[in-house]
Amino acid sequence: MKRPQTLFDKVWQAHEITRDETGQSLLWVDRHFVHEGSFHAFAKLAERDLKVAHPEQTWGIADHYVPTRSRSLDDVSDKIASVIRLLQDNTKKHDIELIGLDSVHQGIVHVVGPELGLTQPGLLMVCGDSHTATHGALGAIAFGIGASEVAHVLATQTIWQTKPKQLRITFEGDLPLGVTAKDMALHWISQYGADAARGCAIEYAGKAVRDLSVEGRMTLCNLSIEAGGRIGMIAPDKKTIDFCSSRERSPKDEALVHAQTYWNELKTDVGAAFDREIVIDASQIAPTVTWGVSPEEALPIDAHCPDPKEIDEPNKARQIKDSLAYMGLSDGQAIEDITIDRVFIGSCTNSRIEDLRSAAEVLKGRKSLVPGIVSPGSTQIKTQAENEGLDQIFIDAGLDWVESGCSMCVGMNGDLVASGERCASTSNRNFKGRQGPGSRTHLMSPAMVSWAAVHGKLADIRTFKREGEN
């Protein structure tokens, strides 16, 4: 009798070409995304006079450095423009399709892939970006790789990997009012730590996960890396299959029928073993924000910052003290007393149409007390949002409605938080200087960012929800 397999086992096995004496597996890569930061890998090919083995399975997507205030490279620094032009030159040289600044499909790689249907259940996908785990929300194995690995995939369409351990996180029950996939991720990381899933392939399961939209599942998988995970996956269901079937690059006609049959088989078998299991009561999750300099340094919005004097473990106490000092916060300070200087709505974590609708619902008819940027995840999402009038809501509130790109999440394109300023952000990382040297970042959901903008400080979105009920 065949041993029960996990979803991850099934997809891994389908892509394993061979295994060497050390136990490493040579895997076939179905989709490879390259962005501006991939110029190192192309340089390695040039050094050895190598060609891209399968250019039809690689896509170039400009996102990290692209200007969001303009679509002209004349409006950015020479350094930024040169990196973008390198991507243009390298993709042209190797006959790789480029989704560049002038494309109607331009956007953040982890938004564009699912949006176009390049991301599909059962595929193995790689990109030189850690948040590639996002694509696993559709039932794919997807992970970030380094420059030398990018070069190897370009040259061979394969990659050597050691099979990771597997962790299943089951969210049982229903999410409370105002709680989103972003809160689920920040909650579990804060409870178990930023190293809890080191190197693991995570499968998310349970009723609360099944109840999420496809967009919400992408947010959850996106943040897998912030707990040390390599991969985040969710088994395909009807929502997934409906989402994938309607996309521009999805299989068509008879090929789609065959694909859907396969997609329906991609689920963890009853009795399949994981290396570790975590079960979380979804009903106990509150709207969550980060107070420190790691996604694990997060608390419910109605909590207070920790007091290092109350921590018995010396190293942990020092870490808390250092984080509070960098963030300019005091011991025991109420989270809701933290004032902000600006907001950012965007990033590969929370820039899809569902996220923009959620943020706009809060801001409609209200003014932001602080400046901020709203950057859609793709040009298609930007167009859709404008057709729905969401852009005008943001503009009327006093925020800047800009082009798609990674923008202020990573600050490579000039969209920065000034030193010492505090930003309420929908992005994925709050490390020291992530949004600019000396910047201070608080991570939260899109609705929470909008509610913070209205109050000029961190605020409980459940208050807005209660107002809406009256």
Strands 25-28 and 422-425 turn out to be unpaired
- Per residue of the chain (470 residues), give pLDDT as tens: 689 999 999 999 999 999 999 999 999 999 999 999 999 999 999 999 999 999 999 999 999 999 999 888 888 889 899 999 999 999 999 999 999 999 999 999 999 999 999 999 999 999 999 999 999 999 999 999 999 999 999 999 999 999 999 999 999 999 999 999 999 999 999 999 999 999 999 999 999 999 999 999 999 999 999 999 999 999 999 999 999 999 999 999 999 999 999 999 999 999 999 999 999 999 999 999 999 999 999 999 999 999 999 999 999 999 999 999 999 999 999 999 999 999 999 999 999 999 999 999 999 999 999 999 999 999 999 999 999 999 999 999 999 999 999 999 998 888 999 999 999 999 999 999 999 999 999 999 999 999 999 999 999 999 997 665 54
pTM (2 d.p.): 0.97
CB 417 within 8 A of CB 440: yes
Strands 25-28 and 158-161 turn out to be antiparallel
Calculate the alpha carbon distances from 129 to 216, 368, 439 in Å.
Answer: 20, 33, 22
What are the contacts of 384-392 at 24+ separation with CB within 8 A? 384/353, 385/353, 385/356, 388/357, 390/356, 390/357, 390/360
Topology classification of domain 290-469 = Aconitase; domain 3 (3.30.499)
Calculate the alpha carbon distances from 343 to 315, 409, 415 in Å.
Answer: 32, 11, 12
| Domain 1-286 in CATH 3.50.50.60 | no
Q: Where are the domains of the chain?
A: 1-286, 290-469
| Distance separating alpha carbons of residues 408 and 429, to the nearest angstrom | 11
Is there a common fold for 1-286 and 290-469? yes
Positive or negative torsion for Cα 119, 443, 62, 354: positive
Q: Which two tokens stand for residue 371?
A: 């400046």
User: For residue 306, which phi and psi values (nearest 5 degrees)?
Assistant: -70, 160
Helix (H, G, I), strand (E, B) or coil at 18: strand
The position carrying tokens 């996309």 is 247
| Distance separating alpha carbons of residues 38 and 409, to the nearest angstrom | 19
